[in-house]
């Protein structure tokens, strides 16, 4: 069976005529990678919040991603490692992507992520030049930060029980 791609979108309807808009040049690999990065960050965010607030029933509360990030905003993080504004921006891009089928992620869209990387990694960082590279490094740095908090809290909890 010959594949024809996704069906076109309805463009404009005027005077009994329909204009069809083809979906072309979508970078499915980048879009999928972007969504995977968002999900991975959310996983680490969930685990971090669970360690910081163990008495809350996270399953029952059904927090949105934005609400979870807002909970982080109440903590005082060193500015060099404060990824909250960049995480919020990542989520706003995800929202655009989920409501606009032909949304294309550009380097300009990822500028807040690049700025965070420059801030936390220092001026010697060789800045990534491709969107996927930025997403990879950003996701890794954010998750490392969350992982360090998870580990520290777990160790404190274990020492408290002794």
Longest CA span, the chain: 78
Residue-range domain boundaries for the chain: 26-161
- Rounded CA-CA distance 104/109 in Å is 9
**Cβ-proximal residues to 35 (8 Å cutoff; 6+ apart), any chain:** 94, 97
pLDDT of residue 85: 94
Alpha-carbon distances of 69 from 1, 19, 132, rounded to whole Å: 46, 41, 23
pTM: 0.86
Q: Per residue of the chain (162 residues), what is the pLDDT tens digit? A: 676 678 888 989 999 999 998 888 888 899 999 999 999 999 999 999 998 888 888 888 888 999 999 888 767 778 888 999 999 999 999 999 999 888 889 999 999 999 999 999 887 878 888 999 999 999 999 999 999 989 988 777 666 665
- The reported pLDDT for the residue numbered 72 is 84
Q: What per-residue confidence (pLDDT) applies to 56?
A: 81
Token pair of 8 as six digits: 């076109």
């Amino acid at each position: 069976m010959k594949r024809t791609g996704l069906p076109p979108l309805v463009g404009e309807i005027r005077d009994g005529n329909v204009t069809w808009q083809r979906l072309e040049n979508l970078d499915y690999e980048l879009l999928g990678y972007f969504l995977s990065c968002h999900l991975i960050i959310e996983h680490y965010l969930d685990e971090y919040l669970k360690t910081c607030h163990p008495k809350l029933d996270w399953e029952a509360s059904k927090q949105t991603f934005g609400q979870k990030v807002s909970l982080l905003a109440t903590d005082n993080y060193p500015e060099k490692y404060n990824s909250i504004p960049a995480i919020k921006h990542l989520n706003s891009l995800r929202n655009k992507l989920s409501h606009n089928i032909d949304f294309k992620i550009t380097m300009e869209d990822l500028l807040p992520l690049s700025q965070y990387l420059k801030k936390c990694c220092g001026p010697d960082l060789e800045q990534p030049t491709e969107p996927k590279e930025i997403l990879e490094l950003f996701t890794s740095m954010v998750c490392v930060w969350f992982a360090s908090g998870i580990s520290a809290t777990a160790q404190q909890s274990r020492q408290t029980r002794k």
